[in-house]
Amino acid sequence: MEVDSEDERDPDWLREKTTKQIEEFTDVNEGEKEIMKLWNLHVMKHGFIADNQMNEACLLFAERNAAHIVKHNLYRNFLLHLISMHDFNLIGTLTIDRAMARLRLVQSQARLRDKDKKEEEEEEEEEEEEDWETAVESQPELDPDPDPDPSEYKPCSDESSSGCLENGGKQKVCGSGSGSVLN
């Protein structure tokens, strides 16, 4: 049996046309446009047509779109939409309170997730910092006041005495810093 296209509530072409028409508005901001698009698509999808269905429509909209509204920072735009509907006696204050409570719940959950994610990232960074040593830290510690062992050095000749240190007045020890001994 074929499906009659007139029975379809929200055909693709109608969703596209609605979205394009809202995009053409010049007297509203982007947030208001986004809420209007979401709302119109929501109403078309669920077939809300009567004034007495608007309380239910708003609560279902808040439930289904809360994450998107919070993620895209459309909280105030949605509140203004609800207030406008209240001004036209389409919804009551209880509906506004319930819908906004749903958004606040999703918002607080998102903040907790973000906080937990941030703490995890900080912990990972600290662990990485602990794992990595700097070049200086990875070098062996040098004795700040080395006492040269006379048995390791051969006496320097008088001709090459520049740069040599006297060792106990007995022999000259080369102090060139490279560890080489001059004869």
Residue 16 burial (CB < 10 Å; 0-12/13-18/19+)?
exposed
At how many degrees (to 10) do helices 54-71 and 30-46 cross? Answer: 130
Tokens matching residue 146: 């080395």
For residues 41 and 10, is the Cβ–Cβ distance under 8 A?
yes
What pLDDT sits at residue 62? 95
What pLDDT sits at residue 117? 82
Tokens matching residue 122: 């900080």
**Cα–Cα dist 171/158, whole Å:** 10
Secondary element (H or E) of residue 130: helix 93-131
> Could you tell me which residues are beta bridge partners of residue 171?
167
For residues 82 and 96, is the Cβ–Cβ distance under 8 A?
yes
Return averaged pLDDT per consecutive 10 residues of the chain, 183 residues in all. 59 84 86 92 90 94 94 94 96 96 92 84 73 59 62 60 51 50 48
What pLDDT sits at residue 183? 47
